[in-house]
Amino acid sequence: MTETTFNLSLPISGMTCASCVSHVEGALKELPGVDHVVVNLATNKASLVYNPARIGLADMQRAVEDVGYGIPTAEVTLDVRGMTCASCVAHVEGALKELTGVQEAVVNLGLGTARVTYIPGAVTTSTMKRAVRDVGYEASERSDGADALDRERQAREDEIKRQGRNLIIAGSIGLIVMIGTFYDMLGPLKAIVPVFLSYKWVIGLLTTPIVFGPGRQFFTNSWRGLKHGVTDMNLLYATGIGAAYGIALINTLFPKAGFGGEGATFFESAALLTTFIILGRWLEALTRGRTSEAIRKLMKLQPKIARVIRDSKEEEIPADEVEIGDLILVRPGEAIPVDGLVSEGYSAVDESMLTGESLPVEKKAGDNVIGSTLNKTGAFKFNATRVGKDTALAQIIKLVEDAQASKAPIQKLADWVAGHFILGVHILAVLVFVFWFFLGYQRFFDPGSRFILSPYLLGEIGVFGFSLLLSVTVLVISCPCAVGLATPSAMMAGTGKAAENGVLFKGAEAIEKASKLQTIVFDKTGTLTKGEPSVTDLIANSELGVIHGESTLATPNSQLLILRLAAVAEKNSEHPLGEAIVQGAESRGLALVEAESFNSIPGHGVEAQVEGREVLLGNRKLMRERSVNFTQLMGQAEAFEADGKTVMFVAVDGQPAGLIAVADTLKEYTVEAIQRLHKLGIETAMITGDNRRTAEAIARQVGIDRVLAEVLPQDKAEEVKKLQATGKVVAMVGDGVNDAPALAQADVGMAIGSGTDVAKETGDVILIKDDIRDVVVTLEVAKATMRKVKQNLFWAFFYNTLSIPLGAGLLYPFFSLIISPELAGLLMAVSSITVTLNTLLLKGFKSSIRRDDRPQPGAGEPETRLALLAANSD
C-alpha cells in the first residue's frame, strides 16, 4: 500500500498559451509524489498521477499558484438526512473532508445541511453523496429558493411521518408488552386482560416486530457507519436494544443457560427502549423545523405573480420570469414582485418584513422599491432593476442561510466533545461491566432490589445479566444528542429573529463575538450624524436697527431676513455650506428671488446684490478684510465654534447683520442609541477626521466616551487595532463601503444603513435600516442567543454528567435502585426535547427598542404582517 497512486484531474485557471501549459506542467512535475502530468490548455485541466502518501492537494495548489495560476474552487450545499446528534455532524464532516478535492465541509445539524467547498474535477457531488451514504446518512444536492423550501419541508414531513408510523407501531405493541409484563400487578384489571399476554414467549413474540421493525433503523445505520470506522449514537441504541433483546431471548428459549432464567427476561426493556428513542426522534423532527422558520418565512414572502405591461397590455406572468427593465404595475394590497425603480404613481409601501421598519414608506417616481414588500395604498408602475437571485430578498435569504449553516467557535468545541463522546461511553460501558462483574455484584447485589420508578424486581438475575444491564444503561443514557442540538438550534433561532428586525448576521461567529463586545467605535459622518451640514442657529444683530425699512432686531423675523438674504446670495453657489443655507431657507418656507449680481470669493465666501442691498457672506477673515466690525457678535461666534459648528458672518450694506451657524446634525436616534449602549455596559467611541475641538463638541452632545479625532480614512483600521491591543473586544459601526478596512479589522464590523443591497457589504453584521438603534438590537439579539446557547449546553452537559453515574449504578450500593434501560431511553429523549423547547423560547424575543416603541397605528407585529403577506402571495 505504500505505492498507492491516484489519478486526478485538476481545473487550472489563468492559462492563456502554450507556455502557460509548460509552466503548470513544470511546477507540478517538480513535486515529489507526482508521477505523471499532462496539462490541456483547451480544457484548462491538468491530469496527473500522484501518491497521496507523499503529496497533498494543498501542495499542488500552492505550486500552481506560485507560478501565477490558480485552481478554482466551487461550493455545493447538500441536504443530509438522518443526522441526530453532534457525533453525526463529526462523521459526515469527516467523511466529506477525507475526500480528495474537498477543501472544507461544514455540517449544520439543525438545518440538516453540509456546505462543501471543493475543487471541481478532483471530486464530484455524487462522490460526496456516496461518502455521506457510506457512513449511514442520506444526502441530496440542495437547490435554491422555493424548490429548496419545498424539498426541505417534504423531507421533514417524510421524517415526521416515518417516525410517527414507527412510534404508532412500537408504542401500541409496547403498551401490550407492558401490560403483559406487569400482568401480576394489574389487580382487578386482570379480568379483562388475557392471561396469555403474560407468557414470556408471547411477550418475546410481540417485542420482536418492534426491535426488527421500527428499531431496525438503529442496526442498519450503525452497521453502515461501523463498516467505515465511525461510531454514532445509533450504535449506542443498537447495542442497548440488541443486548436487552438478545439476553431476554436466550433466557426465554434456554432458561437453564445461566443468564438469569425466566426472572431476567427484559423484553419490555428492549420494546420500551425502542419506543422511547423513536418518541424522542419524532418529537425532535417536529420541533427542529420550527427553529429554522425564519428562512421559511422569508421564502414564503416571494410573490409568485407579476403584472407586467408589455406592448401597452397588462400581462400576468410568473414573478421569476420578470426581466430587468420590464414595466410592472402594482395595485393596492399586492406584493411587489421584484426590486425596481418607481416610474409613475404614488403609494405607501410596508417594508417591515425586510427592514423591520414599522411605518409604511412613501414611494413616488424615482424611488426604489424592494421586491416582496407590500403595497398598501395607491397603485404605481415601476421598472424592474434586480430580478431572480439578485433581488434584495434573495440576497437576504442567502445571507441568513449562510449564517445558519456556519459554526460558532463554541459549537465547534461542543461538536468535538460530542464526536469523541461515543467512544468514551463505550469504554465506560466496558469498565462498568467489568466492575460489576468482578466486584460490584458480589458485594452489593440484593435480589430484592428494583428499577427506579418500577415495581419490577431484579429477582434471580445473575452476575452477567446484572453487569450487562448496567453496561447497557450507560450506553443508552449517555447519548449526546442534546449537546449536538444545543448550539445550532439557538443560532438558527437567533439569526432568524435578528433578520426579522432588519439585522443580518453573516455567520454564527459574529453572533458569538457580538455578545462579548466591550467597545463600539462609530464612524461619525453618516453614522452618528446625517453627513450633510444644515443650519442650526441664526443670530441677528440687535444693535443694527433697521436695514432699508426692515427691522434687524433680534426677532424671529429678523433672523429669517438674515437667512433669506444669505440664501439668495448663495443660491448659485455650489459650496456645501452655501447649499446648507439655501436648504435651510427653503425648509423654513422662505421665497428666494434671484440676486441682481453674484461674486464668489474663493476660500472666503460670496458677495451679492440682493433687492438693492449689498450682502456679504463669509468667514471672519473676509469681514476683517472688508473692515466690517463683528465685535458685538464675536462671543456668540466663538461659542458656536466651541460646539463644533461652522460660523458664517453676514454683513448687509457694510454693516454686521448676523451670524449663521452650520453643522452636521445628529441623526434622530443617535443619543438614544448611545444611552442604551451605556446601559448595556458598552464603552462607546467616535472616529472622525474632524479636528479635536469639533469632534469633542459632538461627542459631548451624544454622550460618547472616547473620541478618536483627526484620523485619516486610511488610518481608521489602525485605530481599531490599537483599541484591540488594549485587550478590548471591539466593534466598528460605519458605512459598509467607505469604512471597509476598519470594519474588517474590528472583531465585529457592522455596516449600517446599507439598504437592501446586502451582497456588496463588508462587515460581519449588516443593519438594513439607517437606524443606529439597530446596533443595540444587534447586541441584544446576540446576547439573548448566546444566553440560550449557554443554557442549552448547561442542561445538555448537566444531564449527561448527572445521568451517567446513575446509569452506571452509583445509587445501587446505597439504595438498591438502578435505572432501567427504558427509563434511560426516556430521559435521553426528554433532554433533547428540553433543549429544543428552551430554544423555541427565543421566538418571544423583543428588543428593548421595540418594546419601548409605542405601537404605530396600522402597524402590527412583523410576524402578523409576514403571515398576512404570505397569505397574499400564496
Q: Does 798 engage in binding with other proteins (CB under 8 A)?
A: no
Q: Does 614 engage in binding with other proteins (CB under 8 A)?
A: no
Q: Does 266 engage in binding with other proteins (CB under 8 A)?
A: no
Among 28, 354, 370, 429, contact with other proteins (rule: CB under 8 A): 429
Among 47, 51, 125, 791, contact with other proteins (rule: CB under 8 A): 51
Query: Binding segment for other proteins among 224-232, 516-524, 635-643, 809-817 (CB under 8 A)?
Result: 224-232
Q: Does 661 engage in binding with other proteins (CB under 8 A)?
A: no
Query: Binding segment for other proteins among 164-172, 467-475, 483-491, 607-615 (CB under 8 A)?
Result: 467-475
- Residues touching other proteins, count (CB under 8 A): 49
Q: Does 141 engage in binding with other proteins (CB under 8 A)?
A: no
Check the CA dihedral 408-414-417-422 and report its sign. Answer: negative
Q: Does 61 engage in binding with other proteins (CB under 8 A)?
A: yes
Measured distance between the N- and C-terminal CA atoms of the chain, rounded to whole angstroms: 59
Q: Which residue has the cell 426491535?
A: 211
Among 11, 25, 41, 56, contact with other proteins (rule: CB under 8 A): 56
Q: Does 433 engage in binding with other proteins (CB under 8 A)?
A: yes
CA–CA separation, 285 and 832 (whole Å): 11
Footprint on residues 63-102 left by other proteins (CB under 8 A) = 97-100, 102
CA–CA separation, 405 and 486 (whole Å): 15
Phi, psi of 811 (to 5 degrees): -80, -20
Q: Which is nearer to other proteins, 127 or 551 (CB)?
A: 127
User: Around Cβ 478, how many Cβ atoms within 10 Å?
Assistant: 24
How near is the Cβ of 425 to other proteins at its closest, in Å?
10
How near is the Cβ of 105 to other proteins at its closest, in Å?
11
CA–CA separation, 758 and 396 (whole Å): 7
Footprint on residues 106-135 left by other proteins (CB under 8 A) = 127
Residue 129 near residue 139 (C-beta atoms within 8 A) = yes
How near is the Cβ of 101 to other proteins at its closest, in Å?
8
Element (H, E) at 682: none
Among 168, 195, 309, 423, contact with other proteins (rule: CB under 8 A): 423
Q: Which is nearer to other proteins, 228 or 588 (CB)?
A: 228
Element (H, E) at 141: strand 138-141
Query: Binding segment for other proteins among 164-172, 337-345, 427-435, 535-543 (CB under 8 A)?
Result: 427-435
Q: Does 54 engage in binding with other proteins (CB under 8 A)?
A: yes
Q: Does 103 engage in binding with other proteins (CB under 8 A)?
A: yes
Q: What DSSP letter does each residue of 466-528 carry, written as one string?
A: HHHHHHHHHHHHT-THHHHHHHHHHHHHHHHHHHHTTEEES-HHHHHHHTT--EEEEEIIIII
Q: Does 838 engage in binding with other proteins (CB under 8 A)?
A: no
Query: Binding segment for other proteins among 204-212, 283-291, 429-437, 636-644 (CB under 8 A)?
Result: 429-437
Among 356, 371, 462, 526, contact with other proteins (rule: CB under 8 A): 462
Q: Which is nearer to other proteins, 4 or 555 (CB)?
A: 4
State the cell numbers at 508: 454564527
Give CA angle at 267 (261, 272), nearest 5°. 150
Query: Binding segment for other proteins among 21-29, 47-55, 209-217, 665-673 (CB under 8 A)?
Result: 47-55
How near is the Cβ of 351 to other proteins at its closest, in Å?
43
Give CA angle at 842 (837, 843), nearest 5°. 95
Q: Does 416 engage in binding with other proteins (CB under 8 A)?
A: no
Q: Does 848 engage in binding with other proteins (CB under 8 A)?
A: no
Q: Which of 345, 347, 339, 346 is nearest to 322 (CA)?
A: 339
Q: Does 231 engage in binding with other proteins (CB under 8 A)?
A: yes
Q: Which is nearer to other proteins, 53 or 639 (CB)?
A: 53
Q: Is 614 helix (H, G, I), strand (E, B) or coil?
A: strand
Residue 524 near residue 690 (C-beta atoms within 8 A) = yes
Q: Does 253 engage in binding with other proteins (CB under 8 A)?
A: no
Q: Does 269 engage in binding with other proteins (CB under 8 A)?
A: no
Q: Does 478 engage in binding with other proteins (CB under 8 A)?
A: no
State the cell numbers at 12: 487550472
Q: Does 255 engage in binding with other proteins (CB under 8 A)?
A: no
Which residue type is seen at 521? V
How near is the Cβ of 54 to other proteins at its closest, in Å?
7
Query: Binding segment for other proteins among 178-186, 432-440, 485-493, 752-760 (CB under 8 A)?
Result: 432-440
Q: Which is nearer to other proteins, 330 or 429 (CB)?
A: 429
CA–CA separation, 705 and 695 (whole Å): 12
Q: Which is nearer to other proteins, 103 or 372 (CB)?
A: 103
350, 415, 523, 739: the catalytic one is: 523
Check the CA dihedral 30-35-40-44 and report its sign. Answer: negative
Q: Does 744 engage in binding with other proteins (CB under 8 A)?
A: no
Which residue type is seen at 544? L
Q: Does 258 engage in binding with other proteins (CB under 8 A)?
A: yes
Q: Does 467 engage in binding with other proteins (CB under 8 A)?
A: yes
Among 248, 308, 400, 468, contact with other proteins (rule: CB under 8 A): 468
How near is the Cβ of 477 to other proteins at its closest, in Å?
16
Q: Which residue has the cell 491591543?
A: 725
CA–CA separation, 566 and 589 (whole Å): 14
Element (H, E) at 250: helix 233-253
Query: Binding segment for other proteins among 262-270, 311-319, 426-434, 845-853 (CB under 8 A)?
Result: 426-434
Give CA angle at 784 (835, 843), nearest 5°. 65
How many CA atoms are closer than 13 Å to the CA of 539, on its beta-carbon side? 21
Residue 523 annotated to the active site: yes
Q: Does 52 engage in binding with other proteins (CB under 8 A)?
A: yes
Q: Does 58 engage in binding with other proteins (CB under 8 A)?
A: yes
* Angstrom distances, CA of residue 855 to CA of 313, 355, 671, 781: 42, 17, 21, 21
Q: Which is nearer to other proteins, 25 or 134 (CB)?
A: 134
Among 36, 227, 575, 700, contact with other proteins (rule: CB under 8 A): 227
How near is the Cβ of 236 to other proteins at its closest, in Å?
10
Q: Which is nearer to other proteins, 471 or 873 (CB)?
A: 471
User: Around Cβ 6, how many Cβ atoms within 10 Å?
Assistant: 11
Q: Which residue has the cell 472622525?
A: 688
Q: Which residue has the cell 463600539?
A: 520
Q: Does 430 engage in binding with other proteins (CB under 8 A)?
A: yes
Beta bridge partners of 339: 386
CA–CA separation, 290 and 308 (whole Å): 36
Beta bridge partners of 74: 118
How near is the Cβ of 506 to other proteins at its closest, in Å?
24
CA–CA separation, 573 and 579 (whole Å): 7
List the alpha helices (DSSP H) in 663-715.
670-679, 692-702
Kindly write out the interface string for residues 329-368 of this chain, putting x where it contacts other proteins by CB under 8 A and - elsewhere.
Answer: ----------------------------------------
Phi, psi of 306 (to 5 degrees): -125, 140
Q: Which is nearer to other proteins, 227 or 621 (CB)?
A: 227
CA–CA separation, 388 and 65 (whole Å): 34
User: Around Cβ 168, how many Cβ atoms within 10 Å?
Assistant: 13
Q: Does 262 engage in binding with other proteins (CB under 8 A)?
A: no
Q: Does 463 engage in binding with other proteins (CB under 8 A)?
A: yes
Rounded to 10 deg, the angle between the 463-477 and 821-840 helix axes is: 10
Point out the residues that are catalytic. Answer: 523
Binding footprint of other proteins on the chain (CB under 8 A) = 1, 4-6, 51-59, 61, 97-100, 102-103, 127, 226-231, 235, 239, 243, 247, 257-259, 423, 426-427, 429-430, 433-434, 437-438, 462-464, 467-468, 471
